[in-house]
Amino acid sequence: MSSAPTSPITSERRRLVTARGLTKEYPLSRTVKIRALDGLDLDIDYGCMVAIMGPSGSGKSTLLNLLGCLDTPDDGELLIDGIDVRANPRPDLADIRLRRIGFVFQRFNLLEHLTALENVALPLGYSWPRIPPEERLRRAEQALGLVGLSHRLHHRPDQLSGGEQQRVGIARATINNPKLILADEPTGELDSVTSRQVVDLLHGLVVEQGCTVAVVTHDGSIAERADWVARMVDGRVDTMTRR
């Protein structure tokens, strides 16, 4: 029996994200819609860092929301880690999000009344089978150690600098060992030195833990560290450049 050619399959296996013809519209009024994504195609391989750049309003955050299964496309195909996102009902999308995807936000989005340790442990509280509280805290401590914050475990966000808060955000994003980390302008609130540390951490997730990182940024120094730069224009990826 002859075997099937392997190269297309192999390349599919290397692919974490396949997006084809993605469309997303938002209603502005009952009759007017705004087309945020307009037939977008994108491939992202496992274990790389992609910088997503482009003018304000070009659809970067909308794309990240779809990649993060926070929202669903109106049209097109979206495969993430081999899963057809459009074929899954919303509760399953929440599960995909929890197990496979971590988020890093521009404004950190930490809960003010919780310590760094508690913030990082929080996503583990939704895991099934259940993880005992002491194990959650142990893992959170380890994750904070990896971002250099072993000395800040019991600080609340208002007792931390911006850079430290973002490192807590990164530790939280990695706590479930996600395959995909999505970061929307993660250094937008940080000075250049601190931004560099955050970029180094994100890059380290790719090199040391084999994560895939998609980062929306206006910052050329982030784009320099990325393996690929996707430039968005008018709701599509206009160019995808290998660095």
Ligand X SMILES: Nc1ncnc2c1ncn2[C@@H]1O[C@H](COP(=O)(O)OP(=O)(O)O)[C@@H](O)[C@H]1O
Contacting positions for ligand X (CB under 6 A): 26, 34, 36, 54, 56-62
Cα gap 126→23, rounded to integer Å:
31
CB-nearest residue to Mg ion:
61
- Shortest spacing between CB 105 and Mg ion, in angstroms: 11
Question: Segment 48-67, which members bind Mg ion (CB under 5 A)?
Answer: 60-61
Report the distance separating Cα 198 and Cα 194, nearest Å. Answer: 6
Segment 102-131, which members bind Mg ion (CB under 5 A)?
Answer: none
Amino acid at 86: R
* Minimum CB–partner distance for residue 226 and Mg ion (Å): 17
Interface mask toward Mg ion for 2-41; x: CB under 5 A: ----------------------------------------
220 binds, among Mg ion, ligand X, none (CB under 5 to 8 A by kind): none
Q: C-alpha distances in angstroms, 100 versus 1, 165, 212?
A: 37, 23, 11
Identify the residue whose tokens are 């993660």: 186
Out of Mg ion, ligand X, none, what residue 58 binds, judged by CB under 5 to 8 A for its kind, is: ligand X
Query: Binds 16, which of ligand X, Mg ion, none (CB < 5 to 8 A, cut-off by type)?
Result: none
Q: How far from chain centre, in Å, is Cα 33?
A: 27
Judged by CB under 5 A, the number of residues near Mg ion is 2
Least Å distance, CB 52 to ligand X, is: 9
Alpha-helical runs (H) found in 147-219: 162-174, 192-209
Distance in angstroms (rounded) separating the CA atoms of residues 7 and 76: 25
CB 87 within 8 A of CB 96: no
Query: Closer CB to Mg ion, residue 101 or residue 117?
Result: 101
Nearer to ligand X, 36 or 42 (CB): 36
Per DSSP, what are the bridge partners of residue 15?
45
Residue pointed to by tokens 């805290």:
137
Q: Which does 174 bind (CB under 5 to 8 A by kind): Mg ion, ligand X, none?
A: none
Residue with tokens 């299964």: 69
In the numeric block, which tokens belong to residue 127? 């895991």
Question: Smallest gap, in angstroms, from Cβ of residue 219 to ligand X?
Answer: 14
Provide the binding-site residues for Mg ion, judged by CB under 5 A.
60-61
